[in-house]
Amino acid sequence: MPAEDTLRFARAWAAQDPDPQTRGETEALLALAERDEPGALSRLRAEYTGRLAFGTAGLRGELGAGPLRMNRVVVSQTSAGFARYLLERGAQRAGEQPSIVIGYDARRNSDVFARDAAELMAGAGIRVFLLPEALPTPVTAFAVRHLGVDAGVMVTASHNPPRDNGYKVYLGGPDQGSQIAPPQDSEIAAHIDRVAADLLVPELPRATDYTVLGPELLDAYVSATAAAFPQPTPPAGERPLRVAYTAMHGVGSAAARRVYAAAGFPEVCVVPEQDAPDGAFPTVSFPNPEEPGALDLAFRTARECDADLIIAHDPDADRLAIALPDAEAPAGFRALTGNQLGLLLGWRSAEAHRAAGRTGGALACTIVSSPALGAVARDYGMAYQETLSGFKWVSRVPGLVFGFEEALGYLVNPELVRDKDGISASAMALDLAAELHAAGRTLWDQLDAATERFGAFESGQLTLRLGSVAEVEAVAQRIRTEPPTAFGLVPVVQLTDLLEPGHSVVPANVLRFDLADGSRVMIRPSGTEPKLKLYLDTFSDAGSVAERHASARAALAALTAAAEALVAAVRPEAPAAG
C-alpha cells in the first residue's frame, strides 16, 4: 500500500474509533509516521493492513488498536455485519424478526464489547437479550437453546493470555445452538467486510432498547444441570468426598458451586487467590489448566483440605481439568489427561444411556483425541464418529450422547448445551467420583477397570516448531508426497489424507497413518502457529491390566522414537530423501 494510502486509512480508523485509548494509540503512531520517524511507516503498514480474520470460532486476538486487533471498531463492524447476516437469514424464514443473546466474561473490555454488540444488533433491528453480568461461556450456549433465539455471541478469549479477547458465535434454529461452521463463517465475514468498506462506526445505527436478562437465566442453567446428577443422601458417618476447586481467576466459581449445591454435593474447598474473576490472571502466567504450574495453588489447597479430587476450570469455564492424589507425583497430585477423562466420562454417558433404556445414540471425539471412545461405543452398540478439531463439529454429530476433545473439552448434556461445558462435565465427574468413593474406590481404579474392559490406550504428542506457517505447510506437503511406509518396524497399513474428498465434512490438512499393530499417527499443521503437530496413539488388550499398560507404553515409546526420526528427516534443513 502506498504511504499516503496507509496514512489516509489510519487517519480514518482513528476518526471512527470510539475508544479514547485505542484512538490515542493510532494517533500516536500516525504522528510518528508523519514525522518520518524510522520504522513508523513500516509499523503502520504492518498493523493497519489486513483484518483480524473472522473464522469458525468468530474472532480472537490481542487487544489494541487497528484492524488486526480486538477493539471497539472491529467489534462494532463485526456486530453490524453479523446482524446483516441474521436479517438475511430471517428474510428466508417468512420475515421473522431475528433474535440473539449476548454474553461476556470478566476479561478486559468484555463488558464494553458486549454492550457495543447489543447496541449495534438492536440498532439493526435484531431482538437482543444481554446477559446481566459476566458469566461462563456454557451459560451463553445454554441460553441460545433455552431462549429459542436465532444466534448467540460470547465475548471471551477462553484460556488465552490476559492481553487477548474474542467474539464467539453460535446459531440457533436448525443449528441447535452449535458454533458456526463453514460456509456460515465465510458468509458472515463477507457481510462484515462490506460494512467495514461502506460505513464508518459512527454511521452504524445503534439502539438501547434491548433486554437485560435477570437472574432467571442462570437459575434455569443451574437447575437443569444439577437435575442430571442428583446425589443420594450418604449413610450416617460416611466421610463425604472432599473436593478442591479453582476457577483460574475466571467466571466459573459461582455458577459451578451453585450447581454442586443444587445436586447435593458437599461444599468444595476453593483456591482463595483464584476464586474471584480477575482478567489480569495475577497468579498464573497462562490461565490454562494444561499449562505447567497452572495448578500449583490448587495442589496446595488440596493438600491443606485433604482433598480426594481437584476440579479446575479455565477462565470461561468451558474446559475442565481433574487431578487426583498420587503419592509418586512431586505435588502429591496428578492431573488426568484430557483423553483419560474423556474415556471415563464417555463410559459413564454410555452406561447412563443404556440404564435409561435408550438405544442408538452416538459417541464422538475429534480426530486428534484418543480412539478409546470408539471401543466404548462398540461395547455399548452405539455409533462412533471422529470429527475435525473443534466443537463446532463434535456438537453436530447426529444422535450425540457425549463428545470430547483431548484439549480438556467435554460435552455431556447435548440436550441443554451444544458446546463444551466444563461445569456440567465437572458435575458428571463428581457424580462418578462420589459413587466410587462410597464404594472405597477412586477414579484411578475406574481407569484400571476401563483398561480391563476396553483395553489400554496410550497417547502422546510431538510438535515441530518452524519459522513460519508457510514452512510448516511445506513440511506437511513433503510428508504427503513422500509418506513413510512404516514407523520404526511397524508397517503403515492405511494412509488417509483428509484433503481428499469424502474423508471429512470439509477438506482438512490432516494425514492419518494406521499401523499394523493398531497404533495410529495423526499429522496436521497448527493453522495459526508455525507448528506441525503429531498425535500418537497405541493400544494393547493382551494380558493383565498392568501388562496391557506396559505393552501400550512400550509401543508408544517406540512410536515416539520413530515419529521423532520422521520429524528430523523432514525439517527444512534436512537433505531430501533418496
Structural domain containing residue 129: 57-214
Across 88-246, the runs of DSSP E, i.e. the strands, are: 99-104, 127-130, 151-155, 164-171, 178-179, 211-212, 243-246
Do 78 and 24 share a structural domain?
A: no
Q: Is residue 445 part of a domain?
A: no
**pLDDT above 80 for 488:** yes
Catalytic sites, residue numbers: 158
Confidence of residue 576 (pLDDT cuts 50, 70, 90): very low
Same domain, 409 and 462: no
Q: Given 150, 180, 214, which residue is the final one in a domain?
A: 214
Q: Domain boundary residue among 394, 420, 446?
A: 420
Residue 577 in this model has a pLDDT that exceeds 60: no
Beta bridge partners of 179: 170
Domain CATH for 198? 3.40.120.10
pLDDT category of residue 563 using cuts at 50, 70 and 90: very high
- Does residue 120 fall inside a structural domain? yes
Q: How many residues does the chain have?
A: 578
Q: Residue 413, SS3?
A: coil
Q: What is the mean pLDDT of residues 200-210?
A: 97
Residues 146 and 78 reside in one and the same domain: yes
Q: Is 431 part of any domain?
A: no
How far is the C-alpha of 408 from the C-alpha of 179, rounded, in Å? Answer: 17
Does 236 fall in a domain?
no
Among 198, 214, 230, which residue terminates a domain?
A: 214
Within a domain: 200: yes
Q: How many domains does the chain have?
A: 4
Same domain flag for 38 and 127: no
DSSP string, 182-202: TTHHHHHHHHHHHHHHH--GG
Q: Calculate the average pLDDT of the chain.
A: 94
Q: How many CA atoms lie within 13 A of 210 on its CB side?
A: 29
Percent of the chain with pLDDT over 90: 89
Task: Kindly state whether residues 359 and 463 are assigned to the same domain.
Answer: no
On the question of pLDDT at 236 being above 80, the answer is: no
Strand partners, 169: 153
**pLDDT value at residue 203:** 97
Question: Over 90: is that where the pLDDT of 239 sits?
Answer: no
Centre a 10 Å sphere on the Cβ of residue 493 and count the other Cβ atoms it contains. Answer: 12
Evaluate whether 395 touches 411 at the Cβ level (below 8 Å): yes
pLDDT at 147 exceeding the cut of 70: yes
Cell of 226: 444439577
Same domain, 30 and 66: no
Q: What is the pLDDT of residue 502?
A: 77
Question: pLDDT at position 237, please?
Answer: 74
Residue 573 has pLDDT above 80, yes or no: no
In 379-455, which ranges are E strands?
A: 383-387, 400-405, 409-411
Asked if residue 306 belongs to a domain, the reply is no
The answer on 104 and 32 residing in a single domain is no
Pairing status of strand 99-104 against strand 151-155:
parallel
**∠ Cα 412 229 309 (to 5°):** 80
* Local confidence band at 570 (pLDDT 50, 70, 90 cut-offs): confident
Tell me the Ramachandran region of residue 293: left when phi exceeds 0, alpha when psi lies from -120 to 50, beta otherwise.
left
All three cell numbers of 193, joined, read 467486510
Tens digits of residue pLDDT in 166-179 = 999 999 999 999 99
Question: If pLDDT is split at 50, 70 and 90, which confidence band does 426 have?
Answer: very high
Sequence-distant (6+) residues with CB within 8 A of 363 are 346, 349, 350, 373, 374, 376, 377, 382, 383, 384, 385, 401, 402, 403
Residue 465 has pLDDT above 50, yes or no: yes
Q: Tell me the per-residue pLDDT of 45-54, one tens digit each, with 9 for 90 and over.
A: 999 999 999 9
pTM: 0.94
Provide the residue type at 310 as one letter.
I
Q: What is the Cα–Cα distance from 83 to 282, expressed in whole angstroms?
A: 36
